A and B are shown apart, each in its own frame.
Chain A
Amino acid sequence: MYTGIYYIYIVAKNATEQKKKVVFQMMNHAIFLLFSLYLYKYVYGLLPNLQFKLPFPNAIWSMAVYFMVFWLGVRNIERYFRRDIQSGNIEMYMLRPVGYIWQKIFVLLGNGLIPFISASFLSIVISYLVVGLPVVDTSLLFWLPGVFLILILSQILTCLLFVLAGLTGFWLDNSEPVHFLISKLIMIFGGAWVPVAFFPKTLQTFAELSPFGGSMAISFAMYPNFSEHFPLLILNVIFWIIVCFILVWIVSHKAFEKLAING
């Protein structure tokens, strides 16, 4: 535990050296957020009936939190795997006392920590100042811890999904197509550009119950029926975490057995 935190701290400390990078990342984030906000305001003005599908503040918050967790960069773990497998550097990491997958997770969290914190601050401030808090059917005292819990669990699920994608690189020459597939499914069913509430009912149910929607359950936590959906969201995410964890455990063992050291 201590090793992990120290690992993350060191990587995050290194990452702070690239201040310009973070500044431009946050500029990008803020511009995109304001842009989406402006466009959706116009669309809601044109089509007032959309309010019945999802109120405007909730739509903005759901997209804001999606892009907030985007900056944590959990999806990049597949890229780390791919780079190590293709370059052969993986053997160097395998010799270290910390497990390979854990090393990559720590590096990833360390790299993403500063952009994530900055993006969270920007998302919350911009959304709050422009549309206020989302309309939810429960008190703030229950909603906030619920959102926090969903955030943690959904990011664990995202991480497991992309670890699985990365592990396919041991069999495929290039795991990029798998990464594309998973990240785009998450983009659609996580409500990145279009909130899932706009989808037909069957697709909404699929999105909520699939691992792809589950990995972005944080955006569903911004919907008005939070208290009604909270148990389902949590149970769904926990279910997929267990399934993916078992898969990662089996697949990683097979993958590391397959590894041929060049020497």
Chain B
Amino acid sequence: MKNDILYFFTQIKFNLKNAYALQKSFWVGVVSMVLNNTSFFIMWLLFMHATGPINGWTSIDVFGMLGVAMFCFGVCHAFFYGVRDLPEFVLRGSFDSVLLAPVNSFLKLSGSSFSVTAYGDLLMGLGVMIFYGVYAHFSLYSIILFIISVILGCIVFVCIRLLCSLVVFFIHDGEVISTQIFEIFLRPGLYPGAIFPGKLKIFCMTIVPTLITSAVPIDVVKIKSISFLIFIFMITLVWIFFTYFMFKISVRRYESGNFLR
């Protein structure tokens, strides 16, 4: 296991080196993603300006929420981008190289591909979260709660990204379908957590756990409730086991070189 993790980090290191070889292109990608993300901040800040605080959420909370969403997206696509490219590997039959490698298949797959623009999301998300923490005068207790909930958010994000990609093992030419399913998951997380009615909020924390990757860390800090964090932790565990189970089943369906079908 230790070797697998080392291999994973080596892959990331070389991916980064590769991308940074084209320094100008790397920074253009990062900056363009920062520009792209800024639009969401502007849009929701204008919305909050029009509505005023909703359900105890202010503009700054929405700001923090978008930071969390971007960070989770950034972590998933900066370090686990291969998961996103899984449909392409399967359709081209190049998934063989992942299965035949003497390392953990998931870790090998995750680091096998790379997105430069995700580093824009990652850096911006991190910056916004730090700003939010400073602005909201986080105590040490809040910081710990926030960090744990953000880590859970990142784990759930990777699980969902992988589950969406696994569609390709069940539906032929599932590349676009996988993207569409992922978008269904992603979009609700970009709405301020405050405007979710109770039942929908629970639905979006459990069945489609998109809020865990965006609004939940803000709620955890606002409520400062350990039991709520444990509830989120349990949901995350369920999703991890479900993803693991589905990954095992799906991989068994793989036919080598199945682009010939």
- State the A residues within 8 Å of B (CB): 18, 20-21, 24-25, 27-28, 31-32, 35, 38-39, 42-43, 46-47, 50, 53, 173-174, 176-177, 180-181, 184-185, 187-188, 192-194, 198-200, 203
Contacts and interface: CB of A to CB of B under 8 A. Distances in A.
Contacts of A177: 28, 31-32, 35
Contact of A42 (B28, B50, B195): B195
Say whether chain A's binding surface is mostly helix, strand, loop, or mixed.
Answer: helix
Given A174-B28, A177-B31, A39 B195 contact: yes
A158 to B, nearest CB: 17
Interface residues of B, number: 38
B10 interface: no
Interface in B35-80: 35-36, 38-39, 42-44, 46-47, 49-52, 54-55
B43 A193 contact: yes
B43 A187 contact: yes
Nearest to A32: B187
A24 B35 contact: no
A50 B51 contact: yes
A20 B175 CA distance: 11
Given A32-B187, A46-B54, A194-B47, A39 B180 contact: no
Interface of B: 24-25, 28-29, 31-33, 35-36, 38-39, 42-44, 46-47, 49-52, 54-55, 171, 173, 176-177, 180-181, 183-184, 187-188, 190-191, 195-197, 200
A188 B36 CA distance: 11
Contact of B25 (A35, A174, A184, A185): A174
Contacts of A46: 54-55, 195
Contact of A199 (B46, B52, B55, B180): B46
Contact of B184 (A28, A47, A180, A188): A28
Contacts of A200: 46, 49
Nearest to A29: B180
**Which 5 A-B residue pairs are closest in the complex by CB-CB distance?**
A177-B32, A184-B39, A198-B50, A24-B180, A194-B47
Given A18-B176, A187-B39, A203 B183 contact: no
B180 A27 contact: yes
A39 B24 CA distance: 41
Given A193-B191, A198-B46, 11 more contacts: A21-B176, A21-B180, A24-B180, A27-B184, A32-B187, A43-B51, A46-B54, A173-B24, A173-B25, A181-B35, A184-B36
A153 B12 CA distance: 47
A46 B198 CA distance: 13
Contacts of B195: 39, 42-43, 46
A50 B52 CA distance: 11
Contacts of A176: 29, 32
A187 B43 CA distance: 9
Nearest to A47: B51
B50 A50 contact: yes
Contacts of B38: 184
Contact of A194 (B46, B177, B200): B46
B175 to A, nearest CB: 9
